[in-house]
Amino acid sequence: MSSKHLSLLLILAAFWGGSFSFIRIAAPEFGPIPLMTVRVVIALAVLCIILQWREGFSELFSDYKTLSLVLFSGVINQAIPFTLFAYAGLELSASIVSVVNSATPIWTAIIAWIWFKSALSWMQQLGLLISFFGVVIIGSEGFLSGESTGSHILSIAAVLVATLFYGISANFIKKTISNVSALGIATGSMIGASICLIPLSFYYWPSDSISSNAWYSAVVLGIFCTALAYIIFFSLLKSVGPTNTVSVTYLVPIFGIFWGVVFLGETLSIFAIAGSIAVLFGVLLVTNIISLKKFTKVESISE
C-alpha cells in the first residue's frame, strides 16, 4: 500500500471515528430520526452530484428490480442502523459506541455462515465468545454503578442491533446487487434511506430550536462522515482491494476514542478499557487478522 493510500485510509478512519462524536453532540437536540434524516439527505445531495459527474444514473434506473433492491439496501444499511446509533448516542459515550461498532465484522461472519454456509473455525468461534464477553464487560459498568441501568443496557443493545443490520446488509448486497457499481449502490441506498426517514422526521422533528453547534455537527456528519467517507472508501476498494480496505474497521475505534476524549472530554473507565480490548481482540480472531495457531502449534522434533 502506497503512502497516498495509507493517508486515505487514515482519513477514512478519522471521518468514521469522528461520526460518533458528532452524533453525541447533535442527537440530544435533533433526536435520532431527524438527525439521521439530515445526515442522509446531505450525503445524498453530494453523492448525486458525484454520480452524475462520473457515471450517470442510467445504470441505477435501467432495471426496476435492481433499483428496488438498492433502495431496500438503504433501509437496512443506513436508515435503521444510523437511527439506532443516534439513539445510542443519547446515552453512551462516543468512545464506547465506536468500540461496540467493531462487532460489525462479527455479525457479517455469522450471517455469511448462516446464509452462505461459510465455515467458522474454532478460532473464529473463540473470537465470537471473547467479543461477546467484552460487550458484557462494557455493559456491566452501568449495571454495577446503578446509574441509568436500563437505558445503558438498551443503548448497547441498540448498537449491537445496528451492527447486526450492517452484517445483514453487507451479505445482502453481495448476494443480490453486486453487479451494480459501488457509487451507484451508495447513492441508491441513500435514496432508499431518505424515502424511509423523511416522512418520520416530520413527525419527530423537535419543537425547540436547534443550536448552531448541533447544525454544524449534522452538516459535517453528512458531508464528511458519510458522503466523502463513501467516496474515499470506494476509491480505496478499487485501488488496493477489499482486504486492505477492510482494515479501516480496526482503526475506527482508535479515532472514535481519540475524538471522544479530545473534543468531548470523555474518560475511559477500567470497564471500558478491558471490554474494548476484548471486543477488538475477538474481532481480530473472527476476521483471521491474527491467529493463535502459531502460539498453540507444537512442532515435532526429528531424532
pLDDT in tens, 208-261: 999 999 999 999 999 999 999 988 877 776 676 554 555 567 778 888 888 998
Burial class (CB in 10 A: 0-12, 13-18, 19+), 301: exposed
> Under a CB-based contact definition with an 8 Å cutoff, are residues 165 and 76 in contact?
yes
Domain assignment present for 80:
yes
29-76 confidence digits (pLDDT tens): 999 999 999 999 999 999 999 999 988 888 888 888 999 999 999 999
Predicted confidence band of residue 303 (pLDDT cuts 50, 70, 90): very low
Rg of the chain over CA atoms, in angstroms? 20
User: Mean of the per-residue pLDDT values for the chain?
Assistant: 84
Structural domain harbouring 42? 3-289
Domain assignment present for 15:
yes
Domain assignment present for 280:
yes
Domain assignment present for 213:
yes
Distance CA 291, CA 123 (A): 7
> Under a CB-based contact definition with an 8 Å cutoff, are residues 232 and 16 in contact?
no
Distance CA 262, CA 264 (A): 6
pLDDT value at residue 296: 53
Domain assignment present for 95:
yes
> Under a CB-based contact definition with an 8 Å cutoff, are residues 27 and 90 in contact?
yes
Domain assignment present for 189:
yes
Distance CA 145, CA 287 (A): 33
Domain assignment present for 294:
no
| Choice between 81 and 103, residue whose per-residue pLDDT is larger | 81
Distance CA 190, CA 75 (A): 9
Domain assignment present for 302:
no
Q: What is the pTM of this model?
A: 0.85
Domains held by the chain: number: 1
Q: How far is CA 14 from CA 102, 232, 294, in A?
A: 15, 12, 33
pLDDT value at residue 38: 98
Distance CA 165, CA 171 (A): 10
